[in-house]
Structure formats: structure tokens, C-alpha cells
Structure 1
Amino acid sequence: MIDLSGRRALVTGGARGIGAACARLLARAGADVGIAYRSREDAANAVLRDIEASGRRGFAFQGNLATRDANDDFVAQAVGLWGGVDIFVGNSGIWPDEAVPVSALDESRWRETMATNLDGLFYGARAAVGHMSDGGRLIFISSTAGQRGEAGHADYAASKGAMISFVKSLAVELGARNITVNSVAPGWVDTEAVARPFAGEGLSRIAANIPLGRVASPDDIAGPVVFLASPLARHITGEILNVNGGSVLCG
């Protein structure tokens, strides 16, 4: 039912985890997909092969997505290849897995988290919007932490909370151009980024506190992203779509 044929999509952080799942599902829905990644060329090439196996055009861009130049170059490559951008999925981000109280939170970690999770999102969205026409879609991956906070991870929660405010601001600003701006806010997701807290019995303990009884897979996040990218969601903007199995009911 969802048909994204002819749509041109970009996914930051698209080589692994949630980003890779989004890229693959967007391609299966008919979109051409460009992915940006920082270091894992092997993983990026595997995603690119899957995009092309779906019969879609794709490309992989390597760069530091916390910087303006990398985001500008990523979008410019899509424009050069395809003439524009229709869907931009801002997924690139980090979650420092060591819980640190604010009294011990050093400036370097704070700035790295903000640069990766927030600055990079701003640069990417700004570059993409300049090449979007009527019906464009901006979709950002935020977090339940951005809504309720997360003790020991104030840097991460603050970056995601700011992202949510960014979504709501752009939704109003870009509505007149028929560009929708939304966010998918996951809870726990089974990716490499959370390997340490999931180790041993960690995964089962976390799952036991989720009403649906399991931790999300990357595909569980990709489905709502593709929905928001589709015509089915044409009248949804400024929304924070929580995908957490019922663990945080803040909608």
C-alpha cells in the first residue's frame, strides 16, 4: 500500500542499526536511497547492495556527519545524481553508554554529543530543505530520553529534547511549503550501540520492564519512519511518534 516510487531519500547514519533498516525499507517501498556513514565502509556497502537488489538507485557517502561540510556534500551528491531530495531521515547520533552524573560530566563529552546529535541534524536538515519541493518529508530519530530525561545521560537527553523542539519549530515554518516534519522516538532498540547494557542478563531485565515484553528491533523503528515518509501521513506534522513498547507513555 505504501508506494514511494520516484521519491529520493537520504538517511544519515545509514550503515548500521536503525539507519540501515530505514534505508532498506525505504528502498523496498520504491524510493531511491542515499546513505551517509562515518567509518564502517563494509556495512555501508552491504546496505547499498540491498538497496540496489530492490531495484532502486543508491549511493553511499562517507564523512563526519557532525560537520556542516559533510552534510552539504552529502546532499549535493544526491542533487547531482537525482536532481533533488524528497525525504531526509536524520538518524546519525551517539549514545555514550557510561552513565555519568552531571557533576562529573566533562565538557568534551557534552560537546561531542551535541555536535553529533544536534548540530549534524541542523546542518543536514538545512541542506536538504533547500532542495525539497512540495510534499517533502523531514523525519528525525529522537528518543524517549528527550521527553522524560535520562539520569546519568544528561547530554544525550538534552540533545534529543532539543531535537524535538527543532521538529516542532520546523513543522510550523515549513508547513506553507507542504513539507512535513516529524520524529520517531524509540525506547530501547537492539543495536550495537547498546551492546554493553544488554550484555549478560541485561537484555532480559530491560525487556521485562517493557509492557510488550521485548526490546524493539531496528525494523520496528523503520516501519514508522516509512509511514511518515508516505502519502498516508500527509496531514501529520510536528508529531513525536513514540515507539517503545509502552515503556514510556508520554504521547
Structure 2
Amino acid sequence: MSGSLPGLAGKRVLVTGGSRGIGRATVRCLAASGASVGVAYYRASDEARRAVEEARELAPRGTHWCAGGDLAEPAECRALFERADAEFGGLDGFVGNAGIWNVDPRPIEALGPDEWRRMLDINLTSIYAGTREAARRMGPDSRIVLVSSTAAQRGEAEHSHYAASKGAINAFCKSIATELGPRSINVNAVAPGWVATDLSAPALQGEAGRAALALIPLGRVATPEDIAGPICFLLSDAARHITGEILNVNGGSVLCG
């Protein structure tokens, strides 16, 4: 991504799920604007290190690093933010992006409790835990951006656990925005539609892919950069009077703004 956004130079931002897809593109966008970036990952350690290398090429004066962990586990989440304390000495931005989606449909009759708990742990509990730790460290003029989904607004048949986790993120975002607003901390969410990532690639093949594309008025699936730009916008000074907003980035497939 070329260009830069106002007010991001020198900012210290932690991005979860930063090793691939939307998170990786967000790391590049932030670095291109002069921010220092921490890349949190779950298992993709090699990709996370490459994301850090890319950030260093784009912003050589910044502080860029990566660390792994399961953010749904309190001790591991706390350790990640303690690493941010050591590397950054403070925190200006947090992007809660880590998440999963099951390609195989799960009708409610077949959706087991373990699958339900795993989806909510990874997609929602990690958002709660990360936001909690971030808020403890943030001063005025800080930003939190959470990654939701169009599934939060229209539902998604046979993926109810995913849609429920993302719908809860929207409600959480609005609640925390009103709570942290008096401290001049902005909290927003970006809700992507279909995005061309490793996560969604199997679902965008063949007839299913053509059917998904037919529902997008702009006629194409988003790239990770299409989502990273709005995330970085909400972290920037250009969005300093926006909070509690769910920014839909879906090519017109869900018109609910």
C-alpha cells in the first residue's frame, strides 16, 4: 500500500493475527505510515517473522517485533502485552484481528459444544482479553479497532457460531466505545465481506465462489489491502471523531449502514 495516513508516524500499534491475510496487510499499511508494529500470531511463526521484516523495510526507524500465544488464555495474553510494554514502553493502538472460520457447514443439529466454545474462544474471548489489556495501557488519543464480519449483520446459515461471535464483537465495540470515550480512546470495528485470504480460499472456488461473487455489486472479492486501509484509517487522526462505528467493507453485498 502506497501513501500514508495522518498521525500514525511514531505510533505504537499491536496487531493480533498479524502474520497473514488482513492482519499482514494491516502491518504493512501501518509501517508505510511510519508506525511501530507488534505482530501477534498463534502458530504461523515464520510468516510473522516475515511480516516483521516487511515492516522494517517500510519503516526502518520503527520498532517492529512479533510474539506468539493463545490470546484466549489470560496468562498468554498478559505475556503478549508485557512484551509490548518492553518493546514499546506504551501503546497507542490495538487491532483485534485474530479469528477463525470453518469452511465446512455446521447445521445447528450437528454443531457440538466443543466447536461452539472453540469458535467463541478464538473469535470473541481473545477480543475481550486483548481489549482489556490494551485499555489498561492506553492514554488519551489512542485507538482500538476490532475486526468483525458481514455475518454479524445478516447471519450466516450453517455457520451460526461464527456469526454469533462476530455479532458479539459489534455489541462489544459499541459498549467499550461509550465506556472509553471519556478517556479519549476511540473504539471502532471493521466488518469485511468476502476477502481473498487463505482462510476463505476453499469457499471461493467453483460454483460456490461464483455464487458469492454474484452477490457483490462491485463485482469482485476484496483483497486484504482493501480491509487494511479502512483499519488504518480508523487508527489515524483522520478518524479522530469516529467511535462506536461498524465500518462495512463488503463491496455493497450488505447495505446496513
Bucket of the pairwise TM-score, normalised by the shorter protein: over 0.9
RMSD: 1.0
State the shift of 1:205 in Å. Answer: 3.3
Quote the Cα distance in structure 2 between the aligned partners of 1:165 and 1:64: 23
SS in 1 for 2:200: helix
Once structures 1 and 2 are overlaid, which stretch shifts more, 228-237 or 74-83?
74-83
Q: Identify the residue that residue 21 of structure 1 maps to in structure 2.
A: 25
State the shift of 1:95 in Å. Answer: 0.6
| Deviation readout 1:73-115 (Å, 9 max, x if unpaired) | 1111111121111000000001111111111110011000000
| 1:162 maps onto 2:165 in alignment | no
Task: Pick closer, same or farther for the CA change 1:71–1:235 going to 2, 3 Å.
Answer: same
User: Would the aligned equivalents of 1:37 and 1:65 in 2 still touch at CA under 8 Å?
Assistant: no
| 1:73 maps onto 2:70 in alignment | no
Quote the Cα distance in structure 1 between the aligned partners of 2:154 and 2:220: 20
Quote the Cα distance in structure 2 between the aligned partners of 1:77 and 1:41: 16
| 1:8 maps onto 2:12 in alignment | yes
Once structures 1 and 2 are overlaid, which stretch shifts more, 201-210 or 171-180?
201-210
Q: Identify the residue that residue 43 of structure 1 maps to in structure 2.
A: 47
| Deviation readout 1:9-51 (Å, 9 max, x if unpaired) | 0000000000000111011111100011011111111101001
Q: How does 1:117-136 map to 2 (within 5 A)?
A: 117-136=123-142
| Deviation readout 1:121-180 (Å, 9 max, x if unpaired) | 100010011110111100000001011111100000000011100000001000000000
| 1:147 maps onto 2:153 in alignment | yes
List gaps (5 residues or longer) in structure 1. none
User: Would the aligned equivalents of 1:135 and 1:179 in 2 still touch at CA under 8 Å?
Assistant: yes
| 1:106 maps onto 2:112 in alignment | yes
Q: Identify the residue that residue 52 of structure 1 maps to in structure 2.
A: 56
Quote the Cα distance in structure 2 between the aligned partners of 1:154 and 1:223: 28
User: Would the aligned equivalents of 2:71 and 2:122 in 1 still touch at CA under 8 Å?
Assistant: yes
SS in 2 for 1:222: helix
Q: Identify the residue that residue 36 of structure 2 maps to in structure 1.
A: 32
| 1:116 maps onto 2:119 in alignment | no
TM-score by length of 2: 0.95
State the shift of 1:200 in Å. Answer: 3.1
SS in 2 for 1:193: coil
| 1:138 maps onto 2:138 in alignment | no
Q: Identify the residue that residue 89 of structure 2 maps to in structure 1.
A: 83
Quote the Cα distance in structure 2 between the aligned partners of 1:168 and 1:206: 29
SS in 2 for 1:99: coil
Quote the Cα distance in structure 1 between the aligned partners of 2:31 and 2:210: 33
User: Which residue identity is paired with 2:223?
Assistant: S
| 1:180 maps onto 2:186 in alignment | yes
List gaps (5 residues or longer) in structure 2. none
SS in 2 for 1:89: strand
User: Which residue identity is paired with 2:27?
Assistant: A
> Alignment partner for residue 177 of structure 2, among 149, 171, 174?
171
How many percent of aligned residue pairs carry the same amino acid? Answer: 49
SS in 1 for 2:24: helix
User: Would the aligned equivalents of 1:214 and 1:245 in 2 still touch at CA under 8 Å?
Assistant: yes
State the shift of 1:201 in Å. Answer: 4.5
Q: How many residues align?
A: 251
